[in-house]
C-alpha cells in the first residue's frame, strides 16, 4: 500500500525541467526576507539568557529526539547563544535533571513522543516558571492524542479519515501479553470495520509518532493480520485507532511564527511505498518535493486547512500538519479534468503567494472543506505534530529552506516564541 502513490486525476506528470522551475521560489523567498522574522526580540537578549535544549527522553522516539536536539543545540551555539544540552535519560524528577533546569532561563524542547510532546514536560516547566518553546500543556496533550484531535477536527468541519477506537478494555485486558486477544473479539472488530467504512485500513497507537507500531491492512481476508496489527499497536498504547486508509498523495504543511504562516507544501514520496520509520529517518529512502507540484488554488486550500488545524488546537509558533489528497472523480471524469487543466496554464502558478490571503482566514464555512467537486479531489488531515523533527532529513527545515530560511534562522524563530502559557 502506498500513501504517496498517484491516483486518477492527481498524477504528477511533470518533467525534470518543470520541477526545477519551482525550486527557486522568488516571491515566497522575498516575502520572508522583506517582511517577516526580521526583528526577533529574543536575539536582543542573547547575552542575558541561558538556554537548555532538552532532548532524549524515554519514549520509543528517543534516538530521533537526540538527533533533533543535537541539531538545535549546534545551531544555537553557532548563533552565539549560551546553550547547554540536557539529555533526559530516565525520569523528569531525576535530581541531575532538575539541577540542570535551575541553571537555565529558557527551555528549548526537542523531545518527541510520550512524556515530552504530550504536555508532561510542558506542565513541569510551567510549575518551575521556566519559559519554553512550542505549544502549551493542553495543546500538546490534544495534538498528541490522535483520537481526541480527530474529534475536534470533525467538530470544526476539518476533513479527516473515518476511524474507530479500540481499547484494551474491549478485549477485557489490563495488560497485553502474547495470545491474550480474543479471536471472537477480533472477528467482531473486523465486522465493525466492514460496517463502518471497510478496507483498506491503517492500525496505529493513539499516542505516538514516527510510524512506530503502525500497520496497513488491505482487506478482511486474513484475520491473523488484523490480530497481529492490533497486538502490535497495543505494545505502544492502551488505546489504538483503526482508520480508513486513503490512497493518494501524502503532503505536509509546516507552520511557524507567533503570527502563524504556512511554509511551502512538501510532497512525500517514500521509495518503499509506505512512509515508515526507516523511510523517515534514512537519507535517500524518500523523495521530498518542495514546493509540491500542485495547482495554486489547491495549495491555497491545503494551507488554509493546515492553518486552521494549528489554530483550533491552539498550537504555538511551530507545528506540522500531515494531509493526504485523493481523487473523488471517476476515471472518465479525471481524464477530462486533466485535459482541461492542461489547456489552462493559469491553473499552474507556483508563486505560493497564498499566505497573504489565507493566513488569517477563520471564517470559511464547514462545507467548503467537505468535498471539492469543482476540481475533483478531497483533502484529509491525518495529524498535527507540535514538536516536528529537526534532523537532517526532517520536513520543517526543508520547507523553511525552500523560502530562504536557514536552519539557524528557523531555530531562532522557534526560540522567539518561548514563553509560559499559563499566566
The number of angstroms, rounded, from the C-alpha of 354 to the middle of its chain's C-alpha atoms is 21
Q: Read off φ and ψ for residue 378, nearest 5 degrees.
A: -115, 145
Active-site annotation holder among 25, 237, 320, 327: 320
Active site residue 210: yes
Active-site annotation holder among 119, 385, 412, 417: 385
Helix (H) / strand (E) containing 312: helix 296-312
Cis-peptide, bond into residue 87, ω within 30° of zero: no
Active-site annotation holder among 52, 60, 61, 116: 61
Q: How far apart are CA 220 and CA 190, in angstroms?
A: 7
Active-site annotation holder among 117, 126, 322, 416: 322
Active site residue 4: no
Q: How far apart are CA 350 and CA 404, in angstroms?
A: 16
Active site residue 281: yes
User: What b/e string do you get for 230-255 counting C-beta neighbours within 10 Å, with b at 16 or more?
Assistant: bbbbbebbebbbbbbbbebbbbbbbb
CB atoms within 10 A of CB 85: 20
Active site residue 248: no
Residue 386 contacts residue 143 (beta carbons within 8 Å): yes
Residue 177 contacts residue 161 (beta carbons within 8 Å): no
Active site residue 389: yes
Active-site annotation holder among 275, 281, 354, 369: 281
Name the residue among 393, 395, 316, 407 with its Cα closest to residue 76.
407
Rounded (10°) CA dihedral 68, 74, 79, 85 = 80
Active-site annotation holder among 3, 210, 254, 304: 210
Helix (H) / strand (E) containing 380: strand 377-385
Active site residue 322: yes
3-state secondary structure 152-219: HHHHCCCCCCCEEEEEHHHHCCCCCCCCCCCHHHHHHHHHHHHHHCCCCEEEEECCCCCCCCCEEECC
Q: How far apart are CA 382 and CA 250, in angstroms?
A: 10
Active-site annotation holder among 239, 267, 383, 412: 383
Going across the sheet that includes 82-88, the strands are 82-88, 50-56, 106-109
Active-site annotation holder among 69, 213, 248, 389: 389
Radius of gyration of the chain (CA): 22
Name the residue among 276, 225, 217, 243 with its Cα closest to residue 150.
243
Q: Among all chains, which residue has been given the C-alpha cell 490522535?
A: 146
Residues identified as active-site: 61, 210, 281, 320, 322, 383, 385, 389
Amino acid at each position: 500500500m502506498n500513501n504517496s502513490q498517484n491516483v486518477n486525476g492527481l498524477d504528477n506528470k511533470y518533467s525534470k525541467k518543470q520541477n526545477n522551475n519551482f525550486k527557486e521560489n522568488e516571491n515566497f523567498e522575498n516575502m520572508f526576507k522583506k517582511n517577516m522574522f526580521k526583528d526577533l526580540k529574543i536575539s536582543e537578549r542573547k547575552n542575558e539568557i541561558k538556554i537548555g535544549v532538552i532532548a532524549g527522553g524515554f519514549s520509543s522516539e528517543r534516538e530521533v529526539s537526540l538527533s533533533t536536539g543535537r541539531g538545535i543545540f549546534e545551531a544555537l551555539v553557532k548563533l552565539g547563544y549560551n546553550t547547554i544540552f540536557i539529555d533526559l535519560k530516565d525520569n523528569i524528577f531525576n535530581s541531575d535533571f532538575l539541577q540542570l533546569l535551575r541553571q537555565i532561563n529558557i527551555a528549548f524542547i526537542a523531545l518527541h513522543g510520550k512524556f515530552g510532546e504530550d504536555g508532561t514536560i510542558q506542565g513541569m516547566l510551567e510549575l518551575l516558571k521556566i519559559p519554553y518553546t512550542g505549544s502549551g500543556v493542553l495543546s500538546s496533550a490534544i495534538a498528541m492524542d490522535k483520537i481526541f484531535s480527530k474529534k475536534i477536527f470533525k467538530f470544526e468541519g476539518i476533513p479527516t479519515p473515518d476511524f474507530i477506537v479500540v481499547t484494551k478494555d474491549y478485549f477485557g485486558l489490563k495488560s497485553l501479553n502474547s495470545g491474550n486477544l480474543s479471536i471472537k473479539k477480533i472477528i467482531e472488530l473486523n465486522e465493525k470495520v466492514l460496517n463502518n467504512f471497510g478496507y483498506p485500513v491503517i492500525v496505529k497507537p493513539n499516542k505516538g509518532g514516527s510510524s512506530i507500531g503502525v500497520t496497513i491492512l488491505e482487506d478482511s481476508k486474513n484475520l491473523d493480520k488484523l490480530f497481529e496489527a492490533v497486538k502490535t499497536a497495543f505494545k505502544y498504547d492502551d488505546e489504538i485507532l483503526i482508520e480508513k486508509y486513503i490512497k493518494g498523495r501524502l503532503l505536509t504543511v509546516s507552520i511557524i511564527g507567533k503570527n502563524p504562516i504556512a511554509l511551502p507544501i512538501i510532497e512525500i514520496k517514500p521509495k518503499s511505498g509506505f512512509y515508515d520509520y526507516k523511510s523517515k529517518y534514512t537519507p535517500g529512502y524518500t523523495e521530498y518535493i518542495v514546493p509540491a507540484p500542485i495547482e495554486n488554488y489547491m495549495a491555497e486550500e491545503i494551507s488554509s486547512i493546515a492553518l486552521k488545524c494549528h489554530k483550533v488546537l491552539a498550537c504555538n509558533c511551530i507545528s506540522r500538519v500531515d494531509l493526504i489528497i485523493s481523487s473523488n472523480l471517476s476515471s472518465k471524469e479525471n481524464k477530462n479534468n486533466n485535459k482541461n487543466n492542461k489547456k489552462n496554464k493559469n491553473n499552474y502558478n507556483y508563486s505560493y503567494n497564498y499566505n497573504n490571503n489565507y493566513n488569517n482566514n477563520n471564517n470559511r464555512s464547514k462545507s467548503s472543506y467537505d468535498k471539492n467537486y469543482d476540481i475533483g479531489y478531497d483533502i484529509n488531515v491525518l495529524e498535527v505534530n507540535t514538536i516536528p523533527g529537526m534532523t537532517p532529513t526532517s520536513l520543517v527545515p526543508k520547507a523553511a529552506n525552500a523560502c530562504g530560511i536557514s536552519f539557524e534562522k528557523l531555530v531562532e524563530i522557534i526560540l522567539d516564541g518561548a514563553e509560559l502559557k499559563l499566566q
